[in-house]
Structure 1
């Protein structure tokens, strides 16, 4: 599903109205003809489509991200698949005011980059990496990763953000990242390492154990890279459950 199939960013269009449009054959912006809804709402939708086409021509999905509910931002992915950056951080605790970020991994375009505290993890490096992204994907990053980075590195993360945790909940996948991966059969290296182990590994590295850092980096990179197959699985499910199911009603 693409942004051009969506109408819920329009003020006054909720899930029920959008589904009614789809069921009446209006499944893409190109098919909207002002029918099905009243004149006032039709005018709003037409303005949204005109402005939306301009945004997409410029490669700007920020307006759609701000207008879509968190659980519906999965719709952004197909438009900017190649420019999507997956991000995960490790820290020494849960409070950004007194704990530190230890490693940050970013996965984009098939490549994974990891920054380490005290080596190359800086605000400028992070900003440079994120500047190439059209969409940022995290798991529980809206509440944790992004505000933690913004606090610790005086960084403003302005990239449109898709928190995968909310999309997972929409298809009944609850729990942490690793438990959801297990439910879906997504494999990873070092499956027995936890967030608590990540803290221990960092402290072991601080005491001189370089092998502990290697293990921590491997763990952090796995968290980051595995979000991509998870997102693709979830978006496929949501496409079927949200969009294709409504379109199927059209032919009945």
Structure 2
């Protein structure tokens, strides 16, 4: 499903109205002719479509992210999948005012990069990665990763953001990232490691154990890489349950 199939970003169009449009055969912006809604709403939809095409030509999905509910922001992914940055962080604790970010991994275009505290993890490196991305995807990053980075590195993260936790919940996938991975059959090395282990590994590295850092980096990279197949699965399932199911309803 692409943004061009969506009408709920328009003020006054909820899920019921959008479903009615789809059932009337208006499943894409190109098919909208204003005949099945009132004149005022038709004008708003036409304006949205005109402006939306301009945004998409620029690769800018920010206006759609801002207008969509958190559980529906997955709809932007297919439009900018090649420019999407999957991001995950590890920290020494849960409070950004007293704890540190130890590693940050980003995965985009099939390549994964990891930045390490006191080596190459800087505000400028993070800004560069985010500025090169049309979309940011995290898991629970809306409440944790993004505000943690903003606090610790005095950043303002403005890249359009999809927190995978919310669309996962929409299709009944609850729990943490690794729990959902197991349910879906997404494999990883060292499935025994947890966030608590990540804290321990960092402290072991600080005491001189380089192997602990290698393990921590691989753990962080696995979290980041595995979000891509998860996003693909979630988007496919939601496409079927939200869009295709509505289009065949009578």
TM-score normalised according to structure 1 size: 0.98
Aligned to 2:222: 222
Aligned to 1:23: 23
TM-superposed deviation, 1:133: 0.3
Which digits, 9 at most, give the CA deviation of each residue in 1:60-114, with x for residues without a partner? 1110110011000000000001000000000000000000000000000000000
Root mean square deviation, CA, Å:
0.6
For residue 59 of structure 2, give the secondary structure of its aligned residue in structure 1.
coil
Which digits, 9 at most, give the CA deviation of each residue in 1:30-78, with x for residues without a partner? 0001011111111100100011011111111110110011000000000
TM-superposed deviation, 1:130: 1.1
* Distance in 2 between residues matched to 1:79 and 1:186, nearest whole Å: 24
* Distance in 1 between residues matched to 2:185 and 2:35, nearest whole Å: 44
Q: Mapping of 1:76-225 within 5 angstroms? A: 76-225=76-225
Q: Aligned residues, how many?
A: 250
Q: Which moved more, 1:35-44 or 1:69-78?
A: 35-44
For residue 246 of structure 1, give the secondary structure of its aligned residue in structure 2.
helix
* Distance in 2 between residues matched to 1:107 and 1:228, nearest whole Å: 8
* Distance in 1 between residues matched to 2:185 and 2:59, nearest whole Å: 34
Aligned to 1:56: 56
* Distance in 2 between residues matched to 1:58 and 1:232, nearest whole Å: 23
Structure 1 residues without counterparts, runs of 5 or longer: none
Moved over 6 A (4+): none
* Distance in 2 between residues matched to 1:54 and 1:97, nearest whole Å: 40
For residue 214 of structure 1, give the secondary structure of its aligned residue in structure 2.
helix
* Distance in 1 between residues matched to 2:220 and 2:59, nearest whole Å: 30
* Distance in 2 between residues matched to 1:89 and 1:108, nearest whole Å: 15
* Distance in 1 between residues matched to 2:221 and 2:56, nearest whole Å: 31
Do residues 245 (structure 1) and 237 (structure 2) align?
no
